[in-house]
């Protein structure tokens, strides 16, 4: 029988990257609310301290580290020291990411390398470092994007890196199934956070023209993403691996269809 206790995370240890604001912060506090001890990393110390305080207020253990997760050696040291300090690892949430709009042909080599490092290499590094410490029943959740599943003019390399993470998720799910480690992805659309101001503005501009870029009438919240992450990290999702869950108000399902704001009429 499945019961409410099967979504609890008591006695489990979760790592969250990019945990200072937005989706990462929501994941950290939600995982703690469901009983997990949480290790947080971000390059922004001020906001990270506030998230750590919110986690501590739930009564759960919390550790913080301040560094750029593109630093592979720092990631490996963090994962190892966290496993020693908190007694192992049960869940990893790869949330750290970043992008900017630019025509593909104008990207410098340095800019392209930075996009790949921030959106793909950080995930491979963290997964590789964590898998040695993940206990059976463990869960890796990679935060991708709806852009991993559609064209993204102006964000070509970012979208390609996110698509690579989606494929990596499926592949690692098979590689680690025998060890009972599940690997899944969550693909949000625009969630109002400090890092999505430009895209949120584009959505608002479209609404002023009488159209919504997402079918669901309410804006998504970081907590909506965190709820799915918590479920994927819980025993309730014990048979879910290799999947991407779209937390986007129906955007991916809609494809090119746009909902008119005066009703449920869709146009291409």
- Residue positions annotated with a catalytic role: 158
> Residue 87 in 3-state DSSP?
coil
Q: How far apart are CA 189 and CA 260, in angstroms?
A: 19
Q: How far apart are CA 266 and CA 215, in angstroms?
A: 9
Could you tell me where the DSSP H helices lie in 121-250? 122-131, 156-175, 197-208, 222-232
Please check whether residue 50 is in contact with residue 97, taking contact to mean a CB–CB distance below 8 angstroms: no
User: What does DSSP assign to residue 104?
Assistant: G
> Residue 42 in 3-state DSSP?
strand
The DSSP element (H or E) to which 24 belongs, if any, is: helix 22-33
């Amino acid at each position: 029988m499945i019961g409410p206790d099967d979504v609890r995370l008591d006695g489990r240890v979760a790592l969250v990257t990019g945990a200072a604001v937005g989706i990462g912060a929501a994941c950290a506090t939600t995982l703690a609310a469901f009983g997990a001890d949480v290790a947080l990393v971000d390059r922004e110390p001020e906001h990270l301290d506030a998230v750590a305080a919110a986690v501590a207020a739930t009564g759960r253990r919390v550790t913080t580290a301040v560094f750029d997760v593109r630093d592979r050696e720092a990631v490996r040291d963090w994962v190892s020291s966290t496993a020693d300090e908190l007694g192992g690892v049960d869940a990893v949430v790869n949330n750290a990411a970043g992008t900017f709009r630019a025509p593909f042909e104008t990207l410098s080599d340095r800019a392209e390398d930075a996009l790949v490092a921030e959106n793909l290499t950080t995930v491979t590094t963290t997964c590789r470092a964590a898998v040695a410490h993940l206990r059976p029943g463990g869960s890796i959740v990679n935060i991708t994007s709806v852009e991993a599943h559609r064209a993204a003019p102006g964000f070509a390399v970012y979208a390609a890196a996110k698509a690579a993470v989606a494929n990596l998720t499926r592949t690692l799910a098979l590689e680690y199934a025998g060890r009972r480690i599940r690997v899944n992805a969550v693909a949000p659309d625009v969630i109002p956070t400090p890092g999505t101001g430009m895209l949120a503005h584009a959505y608002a501009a479209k609404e002023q023209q009488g159209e919504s870029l997402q079918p669901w009438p309410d804006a998504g919240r970081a907590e909506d993403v965190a709820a799915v992450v918590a479920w994927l990290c819980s025993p309730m999702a014990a048979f879910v691996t290799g999947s991407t869950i779209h937390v986007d108000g129906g955007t991916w399902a809609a494809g090119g269809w746009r909902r008119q704001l005066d009703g449920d009429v869709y146009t291409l």
